[in-house]
Amino acid sequence: MHTWRKASIRNQPTKPIALTIGNFDGVHLGHQAMLHRLRETAARLALPACVMTFEPHPREFFSPDQAPARLSSLREKMTYLINTGIDCIHVCRFDYEFAQITPEQFITNILNQELAVRWLLVGDDFRFGARRAGDFNMLQAYSAAHRFTVDTMPSVTVDDQRVSSTAIRQALTQGDLSLARKLLGRPYSISGRVIHGDKLGNKIGFPTANIQLQHNRPPLAGIFVVSVSGALRSSPTTSLPGVASLGVRPTTHENGKPVLEVYLLDFNDEIYGQHIQINFLHKLRDEEKYADIHALIQQIKTDVAQAKDFFMTAPLHSSSLCSKAF
């Protein structure tokens, strides 16, 4: 596996490759179908199967305050991509210089000269280059002169709904974890390192693991039934049951930023510094502001009881995609 984190990769060998390009936020079922087709065709053509993606997302660069919430951090995305079995990932730093590259320059300088692309797969709505001026028709027009073939990937649908990162964000915002799971092909998850918090959970009898969020605008909020992998050092892929709070903690904090806290059921080990994955299985309720800490404690007891009931009737999902690669 090669990972190249450069906008320009002139120092890399120009061995011909098969390539697909996209943000791949969430690596959902549509992305997975594209990556499967990439691997199949690359194997048939005896070429490495490669992915080009961007950091930050172009919309985050141009309009950081209006960009949609990320489904996955770069680390999570890289892990999902690696676990699909591709051969290399090109992470292009999307900055002012990269944004000025014309479609013609992108095809000639990057796809042809720097990457030696021989087969290219893009989505049915793919646009590229400065001002998004390039499209599939332009790629076709330039393909023969630059010795590559280009194909387009049709949209993937589930229950007559187009699979997209936008649809998944909407499902998560609405608390529809079942739909999000259908479109992702797995439970939605957030991974991160366990850091020290304000220790309030210890004081009220519900010690929590505080997760370092990579972005301040997660795509969902509320109180959730979760499973957690990575907490057991001796068995990092083992999933443990828990309850998670993702929000601004209005009862105890004024104008707080989003925080992810997880209470693991019947678990007392210290896990500071460990990288864990939280899989969101079921939404219990929205976040609320209570009159005092005693009312909050009573509600937490109810949340824990409901979580235990959930695990009595539903299997514990094991998902350790983020625990393998890092």
- Show the beta-strand stretches assigned E in 173-274: 189-195, 209-211, 222-229, 239-247, 259-264
Q: Is the pLDDT of residue 200 over 70?
A: yes
Residue 325: per-residue pLDDT = 34
**CATH number assigned to the domain covering 2-158:** 3.40.50.620
79 burial (CB, 10 Å; 0-12 / 13-18 / 19+) is buried
CATH superfamily of 188-323: Riboflavin kinase-like (2.40.30.30)
Q: Which part of the chain has CATH 3.40.50.620? A: 2-158
pLDDT given at position 288: 93
pLDDT at 3: 57
Task: Please tell me the distance from the alpha carbon of residue 103 to that of residue 126, in angstroms, as a whole number.
Answer: 12
* pLDDT mean across residues, the chain: 90
Find the mean pLDDT for residues 10-35: 88
Q: Is the pLDDT of residue 147 over 90?
A: yes
Select from 151, 153, 184, 148 the least CA-distant residue to 169: 184
> Over 50: is that where the pLDDT of 322 sits?
no
| Residues carrying CATH 2.40.30.30, the chain | 188-323
Question: In this model, does residue 6 exceed pLDDT 60?
Answer: no
Half-sphere exposure of 104 (CA within 13 A, CB side): 0
pLDDT in the model for residue 203? 84
Q: Alpha-carbon distance 20 to 50, whole Å? A: 7
Q: Are 125 and 34 in contact (CB under 8 A)?
A: no
Check whether 235 has a pLDDT greater than 60: yes
Higher confidence at residue 59 or residue 224?
224
Residue 123 has a pLDDT of 92
Q: How confident is the model at residue 201 (pLDDT cuts 50, 70, 90)?
A: confident
What is the predicted pLDDT for the residue at 155? Answer: 94
Confidence of residue 5 (pLDDT cuts 50, 70, 90): low
For 12-26, 105-119, 264-278, which range has the lowest pLDDT when averaged over its residues? 12-26
- DSSP summary character for residue 251: T
Q: Is the pLDDT assigned to residue 86 strictly greater than 80?
A: yes
